[in-house]
């Protein structure tokens, strides 16, 4: 195990620093990839794990104007190291969130809902009644896509892997606002035609699997549609039939939230408007936290193991 629980001194509070008491932090696939060394960002070691979470401000340096003790904050970027009870961070590495936001919503806000929001808005101009198809629909991003699309009046076709408790999962995703939930096997069945009698073929496909699932999903994309890849859980390449390019002119794009943040570092406006939109959806009850299992920090080993099991439908959240 690469992981140990350690007691560290809290750093000195500099003029532009903020002393934060962490409240909760999830374990995401990217956190695991960073630990395994297979991610595009590698923290210099020794490092604190965790890229997402929520904390409460305890104290601020004398040059800090935008935050005060009692405020709730989430990471502004990647690599903060949220799996800790307390930390001192530069002010510009934190974003303020409303204090009345439920803790689990805030703890899971900065990565998955942001990714879902950007992919739904940045690649295709979707109108009321348009549709989107996505795989790994029960992932954190997938659950956020379902809810945000529903709020925007966009239909979703949600692909999941077949599993022992499939009816329960289908029911849960339908309750979130999914229009259709299907298995990967169904993607290549004639019944798909039935689905597209009631809704238009999707203009946007969201892929975080790769391999066969992706090729099958692509078949249902409208001409000139876009497929956005944001993960590769099958660890297999994306295979595209030549005909899809020539006769249907489909577009293949990629998305990485970390890169988006980097490119928009000077553009406070677009970040603020996204966070506002997401906070409003949460306030209206249109965007909930993903299904969560809350685990005390000392049980971190069990939480890490649980997060790597196949067919997990619940996100492990460390309570700090």
Write down the pLDDT at residue 8. Answer: 86
Q: How confident is the model at residue 249 (pLDDT cuts 50, 70, 90)?
A: very high
Number of domains in the chain: 2
Catalytic, 300? Answer no
Q: 144-178 pLDDT, tens per residue?
A: 999 999 999 999 999 999 998 899 999 999 999 99
> What phi, psi does 18 have (nearest 5°)?
-130, 130
> Would you say residue 225 has pLDDT above 60?
yes
Q: Which CATH number does the domain housing residue 84 bear?
A: 3.90.180.10
Asked whether residue 8 is domain-assigned, the answer is no
Range of the domain at 76: 17-108+289-319
Q: How confident is the model at residue 71 (pLDDT cuts 50, 70, 90)?
A: very high
Q: How confident is the model at residue 36 (pLDDT cuts 50, 70, 90)?
A: confident
> Would you say residue 235 has pLDDT above 90?
no
> What phi, psi does 181 have (nearest 5°)?
-125, 125
Asked whether residue 175 is domain-assigned, the answer is yes
Q: 101-140 pLDDT, tens per residue?
A: 999 999 999 999 999 999 999 999 999 999 999 999 999 9
Residues 36 and 129 occupy one common structural domain: no
When pLDDT is averaged across residues 43-69 and rounded to a whole number, the result is 93
- Of the residues 39, 117, 230, 300, only one is catalytic, namely 39
Dihedral, CA of residue 108, residue 30, residue 261 and residue 278, to nearest 10: -20
pTM higher than 0.85: yes
Q: How confident is the model at residue 1 (pLDDT cuts 50, 70, 90)?
A: low
Write down the pLDDT at residue 40. Answer: 79
Residues 252 and 121 occupy one common structural domain: yes
> Would you say residue 189 has pLDDT above 70?
yes
When pLDDT is averaged across residues 225-230 and rounded to a whole number, the result is 97
Which is it for strands 131-134 and 251-254: parallel, antiparallel or unpaired? Answer: unpaired
Dihedral, CA of residue 166, residue 301, residue 291 and residue 140, to nearest 10: -90
Residues 98 and 123 occupy one common structural domain: no
Buried (b) or exposed (e) across 102-120, using 16+ Cβ within 10 A?
Answer: ebbbbbbbbbbbbbbbbbb
Residues 205 and 294 occupy one common structural domain: no
Q: Which two three-digit tokens encode residue 17?
A: 């620093």
Write down the pLDDT at residue 35. Answer: 81
- Whether the bond between 157 and the residue before it is cis, its omega within 30 degrees of 0, is no
Residues 132 and 168 occupy one common structural domain: yes
When pLDDT is averaged across residues 267-296 and rounded to a whole number, the result is 94
When pLDDT is averaged across residues 63-75 and rounded to a whole number, the result is 96
Residues 187 and 76 occupy one common structural domain: no
């Amino acid at each position: 195990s690469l992981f140990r629980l350690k007691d560290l001194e809290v750093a000195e509070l500099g003029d532009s620093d903020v002393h934060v008491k962490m409240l909760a932090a999830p374990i995401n696939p990217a956190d695991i990839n960073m630990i395994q060394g297979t991610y595009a960002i590698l923290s210099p070691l020794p490092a604190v794990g965790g890229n997402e979470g929520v904390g409460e401000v305890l104290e601020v340096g004398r040059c800090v104007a935008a935050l005060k003790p009692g405020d709730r904050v989430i990471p502004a970027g990647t690599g903060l190291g949220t799996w800790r009870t307390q930390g001192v961070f530069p002010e510009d590495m934190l974003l303020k969130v409303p204090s009345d936001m439920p803790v689990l919503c805030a703890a899971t806000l900065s990565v998955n809902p942001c990714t879902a929001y950007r992919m739904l808005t940045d690649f295709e101009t979707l109108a009321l009644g348009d549709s989107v198809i996505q795989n790994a629909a029960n992932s954190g991003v997938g659950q956020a896509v379902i809810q945000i699309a529903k709020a925007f009046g966009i239909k979703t076709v949600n692909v999941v892997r077949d599993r022992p408790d499939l009816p329960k999962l289908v029911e849960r995703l339908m309750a979130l606002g999914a229009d259709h939930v299907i298995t990967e096997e169904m993607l290549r069945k004639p019944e798909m035609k039935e689905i597209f009698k009631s809704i238009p073929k999707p203009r946007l496909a969201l892929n975080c699997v790769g391999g066969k699932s992706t090729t099958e999903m692509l078949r249902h994309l409208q001409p000139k549609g876009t497929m956005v890849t944001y993960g590769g859980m099958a660890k297999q390449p994306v295979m595209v039939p030549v005909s899809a390019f020539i006769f249907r002119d489909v577009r293949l794009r990629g998305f990485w939230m970390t890169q988006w943040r980097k490119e928009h570092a000077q553009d406070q406006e677009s970040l603020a408007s996204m966070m506002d939109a997401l906070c409003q959806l949460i306030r209206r009850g249109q965007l909930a936290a993903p299904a969560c299992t809350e685990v005390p920090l000392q049980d971190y080993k069990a939480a890490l193991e649980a997060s790597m099991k196949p067919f997990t439908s619940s996100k492990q959240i460390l309570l700090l």
